[in-house]
A and B are shown apart, each in its own frame.
Chain A
């Protein structure tokens, strides 16, 4: 049954990427426990707007946990306390009356803050541009069932492909590494026969780019897996490392 709770929010406010930020305190009163976390922020923002104050900027779009656009650190945990759940799907029934919530943006050298809780994740697009694809021009492809893929392989590829590119893995990692994101894409495409021809080139290029963009290295903390809303496994990082070693040995240079 729904009830209402009162919360204290400590929210990171930062007017622009170059400006200095600080925490501001807001009272979120009469919050229905049936609300999603973002609906709670909507309510706070509506009240701020009526008072003529600047609402809290945060990214969001589909609000069904699939677009990957939302995400903030809530009480130190990316996407908040519920496992396998994006911020938009986190509901207020998981909080208690008079809780204090500290809400911050993703923090990483590669993700610059745009405003308040909104960050620039275009580094992820740049990673995909360096090899997160199979080179198959429109039209130049074989009949779909000409490529047989065992159910097991298809399922493993799908597990990796489920990544929504939200960046929580980077936010959770003490090194701000993008290894889970890159590992998931490398794995999906390395598992499938269609992706094999470019597998070696792909993994090398993506790792090089990851370093270049200011992401850290992986030191097996596994924080990324713990916060991933799609439960992408770190076995994908292991697979990436195997691909990288294979690529090194297979290299003609």
Chain B
């Protein structure tokens, strides 16, 4: 299989315009003849559903939650980037593009990233028009802040709830189309398979999570916006329901999976405190704008933080990275936290935490100012940990947060299966090996509002598609396969719970495929996961029946897929014999312990083709050509 990214020719700034012109259009009167399925209602799926419906397509939208407004985009706190240059501080489309490519450690596709930066300005316009209450300056103009390793202020925000407000904007636009009859909403449905006819995506099979019924839905194209796979690690900042099932099942149907070992580990999360823990909570990294990160210089120092004098504190980010200080990108901040904890300087009972201290900021700006900026975050911390961050430093530790890897897509966001499009976190294309802060919201909305409405049209207009109904035999086969799996899960009646298996899988991946990796560990994990998978299919217990609201059964199906997917992450990490962004292989580091890329041999997207469970997948490479930026060593010193 030769991967064709279909990147249009011509100079970078003109590619998207040129491409939009070259894409065929669907006649306005014909749009209503097409059915499009959208799976997932986060920023990407919500905005895509609304925009496609506005154009006149008939959209069927599915989500696993009780309402489309719950998708996990809602939890994004910090903000959304856009190259508006409202602050006159040197920003431009080119700079946002460059920062994103560099931040991704040169493992993303140049043309996609440039388009993202270009369209970023339209996103803000759209959201303001929808009534998103962004923060404003006294004069009534939009306010900006600098965020997550950027040296310009280009981040727009709505308190610490930017994701919520943007999602509710997309959701309300979509609800308007539900009222219009152009979007048909199917909540509490889980996509369990893709149906292909003549090699094209022509529908999906879902389980109705209330009745347990397996339902078939045919369409002319399928758009997946099903989010990331971070929950493979069990503990992550993802929502409990976030999963890889839809993505994994289309992968098994032939869609290539790209860069699965690229998982972002967010530096500012509340540390793990017990085995019963169900998830990790992220504290917005905007906190790093004013908080100073430190650990005691003395190993195993058990004194309370306020009794440790200044001279005995190690402000490791400020010392190691004088120009970026506490604002280094996420991967660098996370790795350094692990490093000082590995050296024995970590704090808290577990030794797996560092301080994030606001004492200086409070002294400088006053408690009121800090309260205004971070009040809700401080409150959230206190609620969970039971300590007051105005009085004592926060304790933080890195946690799994975002999946840069995902289904492989071309410039049109189409996967290797014709007619199957993948948006947002579920695809791989824009963030390379590390995502910058405030860029996920930008990408989700960019894909949904401004890319897919054009590229779906181009696909549909480009070829005549025969009629496919949900009674087509291809649906019957998929339903049969799903029913068999469900019956099997319910019949094992073993001794271990689904969560117990999930937790163990998470521990393996975190230990051997987490913040630092090495060949021996990855190989060991590659032994362990198939064993665990076998135990799962022999000894899991799933109570209840298939024809009812059965949350254990839902989780069992997802964990079964994580148990297969985990192995692909290991294969990808083993293959990439370099360090880049979040993928830090200890064998490839500079003298300062920074990631050492190998551009000669690994400047490519690793796209994997499924061969069968437990079988070695086949690697396809999409070479990454950087024609407009210089492949530099990423330095934040």
Contact = CB atoms under 8 A, between A and B. Distances in A.
Partners in one complex: yes
Interface of A: 2, 15-16, 32, 34-36, 38-39, 42-43, 46, 48-50, 52-55, 57, 59-69, 82, 84-85, 89, 91, 93, 114-115, 118, 120-122, 124-125, 128-130, 132-139, 141-145, 147-151, 154-155, 157-158, 161-162, 164-165, 188-189, 192, 194-195
Contact of B133 (A68, A69, A139, A161): A161
20 contacts: A2-B273, A15-B548, A34-B273, A35-B276, A42-B278, A42-B499, A61-B70, A64-B281, A69-B67, A89-B380, A115-B548, A118-B66, A134-B129, A138-B54, A138-B450, A142-B125, A144-B128, A145-B142, A154-B133, A194-B128
Nearest to B499: A46
A35 B66 CA distance: 25
B466 to A, nearest CB: 30
B343 interface: no
Nearest to A69: B70
Given A134-B129, A194-B130, A164 B164 contact: yes
B386 A93 contact: yes
B10 interface: no
Contact of A138 (B278, B386, B449, B544): B449
A152 to B, nearest CB: 9
B187 interface: yes
Given A144-B124, A194-B129, A133 B239 contact: no
Interface residues of B, number: 85
Contacts of B591: none
A118 B66 CA distance: 10
B11 interface: no
B133 A62 contact: no
B75 A133 contact: no
Given A57-B549, A154-B134, A136 B126 contact: yes
B72 interface: yes
B249 interface: no
B373 interface: no
B124 to A, nearest CB: 5
Given A57-B549, A67-B75, A134-B131, A150 B136 contact: yes
A69 to B, nearest CB: 5
Contact of A133 (B51, B141, B175, B541): B175
A15 B84 CA distance: 53
Interface in B185-204: 185, 187
Contacts of B493: 52
B44 to A, nearest CB: 13
Given A154-B135, A195-B131, 14 more contacts: A16-B548, A42-B278, A50-B541, A55-B552, A57-B549, A63-B279, A91-B383, A124-B67, A125-B185, A148-B139, A148-B140, A151-B140, A158-B165, A161-B165
A136 B70 contact: no
B74 A38 contact: no
A188 B168 CA distance: 12
A68 B69 contact: yes
B131 A42 contact: no
Contacts of A49: 497-498, 541, 543, 552
A32 B274 contact: yes
A42 B279 CA distance: 12
B239 A130 contact: no
Interface string B131-151: 111111111111000000000
